[in-house]
Structures are given as C-alpha cells and as structure tokens.
Amino acid sequence: MTTKISSAMKKLRLLAMTTCALALVALLSASPVNAAVDQPNRQVLIRDITSVEGVRDNMLVGYGLVVGLNRTGDSQQTYFTVQTLANAMQRMGVLIAPGTVEVKNVAAVFVTAMLPPFARPGARLDVTVSSVGDAKSLEGGVLLMSALHGPDGQVYAEAQGPLQMGGYTVGNGTNGKQVNSTTVGMVSNGGIVERDTAVDLRSFQTVSLLLRNPDFTTAKQIADTVNEEFHKTIASALDTTRVDINVAAAGAASVPVLISQVQNLSLTVHTPARIVVNERTGTIVLGGDVKLTPVSVIHGNLSIQVVTTYNVAAVPVGGRGPGGQHGPDGRDAGDGKGGPDGREGDRGPRLEPVLVPQTSLDVNDGPAQTMRLDEGANVEELVNGLHAIGTTARDVVAILQAIHAEGGLQAELEVQ
C-alpha cells in the first residue's frame, strides 16, 4: 500500500514539473511578441509613400457663364460678362448689341477641375465654379456648357449643370447674414471627359517610383525590399526621390500586376528629425526622434503694465471779484454778498465736476526659471520642462530658435 502511494506521489511531482516547464517555455516564447507589440509600429506600405511616375492628375480650367441668378449677378460695369453673353447669343442666332444689354442674373465664372489618370471619354468629373466679376452670389445659378482646357490648350472635358453652394446670404445690405462663400460653388459630376488621356502601361520598360518625402535611406529601403521580394536585383535607388524597377527582369504578367505587387510591400520608415514652427499662430509640431545635447534654458518673466484711470473731481470755476470784477473766464468772480456801500459784493467760485486722469505704473520682474536638459534628452522631456517653467507657445518658439542657434537641437528647424 505504501509503495503504491509513493509511486502516485512521484507521478504527481513529475506532472507538476512538466507543467511548469511548459509554462516557462510559453512565457519565454511570448516575450518577444509582447515586446514587439509594445514597440511603436512604423510599418508602412510603399503605395502610401510613393507615386508612379507618369500616373498623375492633370489640371483643367475653362471660362463660362452662370445664368438664372436672382439679380445677384455681375453689374453693368463688368463689361466682359455682357460681351460673353452677346457672343453666346450670337452663336445661337440672336444678334444683340452689348451696349444695350442690362441683366443682373448672369455672372462670368472660371471653371476648374482635376482630370484623374486613365480617364476615358464619358467619365464624369466634379467641377468648381468661381465668380470672376462683382457678382454678389451664385446661389440658384446654372452653369452653361463650358470647355475645359489642359496645359497644352486642348479641350479635355465639357462642364454644365446646376450649382451646389456651400454658403448662403439672407437679409439686405443693412441687416443680413452670410455663411461661408456665396461666389464659389460646385457642379457634382457636371464635367464629362471628351479626350482619352490614359497612359499605355504596356510600353513601360521601367517603373519609376517617386518618393513623396525625399530621403536617401527610404529610397534604399524601398529598393532592398523589392529585391528581397523578387529574390533578385530588379530595383535600384537613383537619388532621394526616385527608385527604378526593371519590368523585364521582374518577370511579372503585366505592368499593372507588377505595380500592385510592389505597392503592397511594407517597410519600416525612419522619419527625419524635424521641428515645424508657425510664428503667426504659435503652432509647434515636433518629431519624436528629435534629440538634444546638454543645454540649459533660463526663462525670465518681466511684465510692465501702465494703466490710466479717470476720476471725477470738483474744480472751482469763475466768480466776480471785489467791486463787481469778472474772473478770467468772463464769469462773476465775487462771493455774492453786498458790500458796505450797498453795492453787490464778492461772489465765491462755483464748483464744476471734471475728469482728472490718474496714471499708475506696475512692474513685475519675476525670478528667472531655469531648466536643464541632459545628454540624449528627447522632445517629450523638452516640452514637459518648458511647460513646467510656465512658458507660452510663443515663448517655446523663441526658445527653440535659440537652442537651434546654439547647436543643441539635433534636428531641422523649419519656421513658417
């Protein structure tokens, strides 16, 4: 009986030791994963930081007329509006003299749009309509057919349709309210593409990726990631903004397939250390990788305040002096009592309230606040230290500029 119990106890101990060992192995294997989760994720797709050379939007612009306005169009002094209306009427077989036309429901406008890549004839575009003359509002107007030209002067689209406004005006000139702009509107899907601008990707021998933020390191990482994916050297970084990929060496089924495969690759991006400062608004944007060398910041607080107040005081004015004499201001200077000879005696001065200015000067010279940053301090420590000594946003701008001039800021400082 005792032998059976001892054997059972040994089995239980062995089972417990095995369970502990398995738990320890699981914990150790999970530790790197948890550490990786704790680290900041900077993995980005190539498609988010690059664009393909030759695949881009194109700007279009045109000139036209908006009609149907409720007497809020261009005035008679805007001569080109009347001339444009006369030309449009002439094309429709109606001859009018521009000098005799007086309409207030027409406005001359510029029409703009963005032509996307691979746009085919018949595709729809959103167009923006902006007033050219002195129209008060384009609300309720309709854009007449207007040709949209590209940079080469060719017509690539036509636009027409009712305007959609993001603002409105109510009331009259003396008592009214305006919300947003009433001279800029949009015609949703109002443009139609008339010319084929699609790029023939089959003729591409090289696919060039253009970086949105130029950087040698990022360009090299893109080339290395592509070469690792295809297990051969097909990509090379030319400079900070361009990476070329050999289409023939890639062996892809087509250029679109190659571009899709490359754009969906991910890599780790190291952003440059940069601080952007806007002095007009006091906005400061600091990158997390900004490092500082040992530096001390002394921030003083000197304020001078001059205040002028006005108090009411009674000042004697006028009165008739002895013998009926008048004072300097022409008023009686006497005290109003009869003299010994029965004549009117002296009158006392009258008191009138006047405003007397009183100026006070208040100077507060607070003790200088000191902050010390050690070697390798980061942005978070800098910002926390500046807040601790009571600096404002504009004080931080001046302090950052001073630290950068001293050489203690290991980052690019961009002042807007």
Q: Could you read off the pLDDT tens digit of each residue along the chain, which spans 416 residues? A: 444 445 544 554 544 444 444 333 333 344 343 333 334 447 899 999 999 998 889 999 999 999 999 888 888 778 888 888 888 888 888 888 777 777 889 999 999 999 999 899 999 999 999 999 888 889 999 999 999 999 999 999 999 999 998 876 766 656 666 777 889 999 999 999 999 888 888 888 999 999 998 889 999 999 999 999 999 999 999 999 999 999 999 988 899 999 999 999 999 887 777 888 877 777 778 766 677 777 776 766 645 455 567 677 777 776 554 444 545 454 544 444 455 554 545 556 777 777 777 766 565 556 666 666 666 676 667 777 777 767 777 777 777 778 778 777 777 788 77
Whether residues 240 and 321 fall in one domain: no
Q: Is residue 222 part of a domain?
A: yes
Helices (H) and strands (E) in the chain, counts: 8, 27
Whether residues 185 and 215 fall in one domain: no
Choose the final residue of a domain: 142, 169, 193.
193
Whether residues 217 and 93 fall in one domain: no
The pLDDT, as a whole number, for residue 5 is 41
**Count of structural domains within the chain:** 4
The pLDDT, as a whole number, for residue 59 is 95
Whether residues 261 and 283 fall in one domain: no
- Whether this prediction's pTM lies above 0.85 is answered by no
State how far Cα 151 lies from the chain centre.
28
Please state, in angstroms and rounded to a whole number, the distance separating the CA atoms of residues 392 and 334. Answer: 64
Q: Is residue 38 part of a domain?
A: no
DSSP state of 92: T
Q: Are 151 and 174 in contact, with CB atoms under 8 Å apart? A: no
The pLDDT, as a whole number, for residue 142 is 95
Per residue in 246-267, is it b (16+ CB within 10 Å) or e — as a string?
Answer: bbeebebeebeebbebbeeeeb
Q: What are the CA-CA distances from residue 65 to residues 59, 101, 165, 261 (Å)?
A: 20, 15, 16, 47
Whether residues 187 and 231 fall in one domain: no
Whether residues 99 and 141 fall in one domain: yes
The pLDDT, as a whole number, for residue 343 is 52
For CA atoms 195, 201, 202, 203, the dihedral sign is: positive
The pLDDT, as a whole number, for residue 86 is 85
Tokens coding 147: 């040709």
Whether residues 63 and 115 fall in one domain: yes
Q: Are 349 and 316 in contact, with CB atoms under 8 Å apart? A: yes
Whether residues 89 and 147 fall in one domain: yes
Q: Are 140 and 67 in contact, with CB atoms under 8 Å apart? A: no
Choose the final residue of a domain: 161, 193, 225.
193
Whether residues 323 and 382 fall in one domain: no
- Residue listed under structure tokens 């807007």: 416
Please state, in angstroms and rounded to a whole number, the distance separating the CA atoms of residues 388 and 286. Answer: 18
Domain of residue 242 covers: 201-268
Q: Is residue 11 part of a domain?
A: no
Q: Is residue 254 part of a domain?
A: yes
Whether residues 206 and 83 fall in one domain: no
Whether residues 207 and 180 fall in one domain: no
Of 268, 289, 287, nearest in space to 220 by CA: 268
The pLDDT, as a whole number, for residue 61 is 96
Whether residues 128 and 149 fall in one domain: yes
